[in-house]
Amino acid sequence: MKTKWRDWAILALTRAEAPDRVAVGFWTALFAPPAAPTQRPRADGGATGTVEDKPRRSSTGLDYRLERARRKSIGLIITTDGLVIRAPKWTPLYEIDAAITERHAWILAALARQTARRSQLAAYRDGGHVLFRGNKLKVEVRQGLFDSIDLTEQHCIVTTIDGAFNAYAFDEELKRIARLELPEIARNMATDAGLPLASVTLSSARTMWGSCTSTGRVRLNFRLLQLAPELMRHVVAHELAHLVEFNHSRRFWAIVEGLDPNTKTHKRAIKAYAVLLEL
């Protein structure tokens, strides 16, 4: 019976696209506009124009800096210095203001994410903290003859030649542990529930905790290791449920709840950790 559902899902979803390109994912921000790039705006007066030094304030109270550029539409980006509006040379200010008002909620959310990301990165230092298996661990940075990381549920000891925290090495350590644990957890859960899991691999997508293709290939983000085990298992349950229900229907959620009885709580709790994916 389960296989039949899956076949039906494949048929329905592969008409327009190749099976491997079809994927449903556990997105961090469903229905939100795509995350804006976070690089510093160009202020060299080149083809993209010049960013004004003095910030302006929109009628909704948002500070922004204006960049007049050779372009046809108004663009909004969140940079390390905050909101920058790129607008064609002759666009009147009231039109720019209207564009800001229209996307007010999105801008606020993007700025909040930027702040959260910055504070998390600022904690990557001696005496700061990292999240591992849902525990907030105090970071201890030591200077040594070679780089190493000692990461357990109790501590995070980072040893580097220059005595500075190495975010890349920390991520590599997370990936190493994720490779050992995540595929096995997913395979065991799938086997216990009789779900047709074709393969499970790791991902480092910056917007998704996990995804599943119509051909039964599940991908799980290595940063799931930073979440509490029950939240990690919730994401795995979500992706495994897509093996038989390639949608977010009531039948889909019933399967998720079968795998994770605390689905409602976990689904809500996980939202607070979206910033981890953007590090």
Minimum CB–partner distance for residue 247 and Zn ion (Å): 8
Please choose, out of 9-17, 24-32, 196-204, 223-231, the segment that lies near Zn ion by the rule CB under 5 A: 24-32
Q: At what angle do helices 167-193 and 250-259 cross, to 10 degrees?
A: 100
Please choose, out of 16-24, 69-77, 139-147, 186-194, the segment that lies near Zn ion by the rule CB under 5 A: 16-24
The Cα–Cα gap between 184 and 196 comes to 15
Minimum CB–partner distance for residue 104 and Zn ion (Å): 28
Minimum CB–partner distance for residue 129 and Zn ion (Å): 30
Please choose, out of 23-31, 131-139, 228-236, 265-273, the segment that lies near Zn ion by the rule CB under 5 A: 23-31
SS3 assignment, position 261: coil
Instruction: Kindly state the greatest CA–CA separation across the chain.
Output: 64
Instruction: Give the residue with the Cβ less far from Zn ion, 24 or 110.
Output: 24
CA dihedral in degrees (166, 171, 172, 178; nearest 10)? Answer: 150
Of the candidates 111, 112, 137, 141, the residue with the CA atom closest to the CA atom of residue 125: 141
Instruction: Give the residue with the Cβ less far from Zn ion, 1 or 30.
Output: 30
The Cα–Cα gap between 170 and 167 comes to 5
List the one residue from 9, 22, 23, 24 that touches Zn ion (CB under 5 A): 24
Amino acid at site 119: S
The Cα–Cα gap between 144 and 271 comes to 38
Instruction: Give the residue with the Cβ less far from Zn ion, 167 or 254.
Output: 254
Q: Tell me how many degrees the CA angle 195-273-236 measures, rounded to the nearest 5.
A: 5
Minimum CB–partner distance for residue 51 and Zn ion (Å): 39
Instruction: Give the residue with the Cβ less far from Zn ion, 24 or 62.
Output: 24
User: What number of chain residues touch Zn ion (CB under 5 A)?
Assistant: 1
The Cα–Cα gap between 188 and 15 comes to 32
The pattern of x and - marking residues 70 through 109 that bind Zn ion according to CB under 5 A reads ----------------------------------------
Instruction: Give the residue with the Cβ less far from Zn ion, 24 or 151.
Output: 24
The Cα–Cα gap between 22 and 252 comes to 17
Instruction: Give the residue with the Cβ less far from Zn ion, 28 or 58.
Output: 28
Positions touching Zn ion (CB under 5 A) are 24
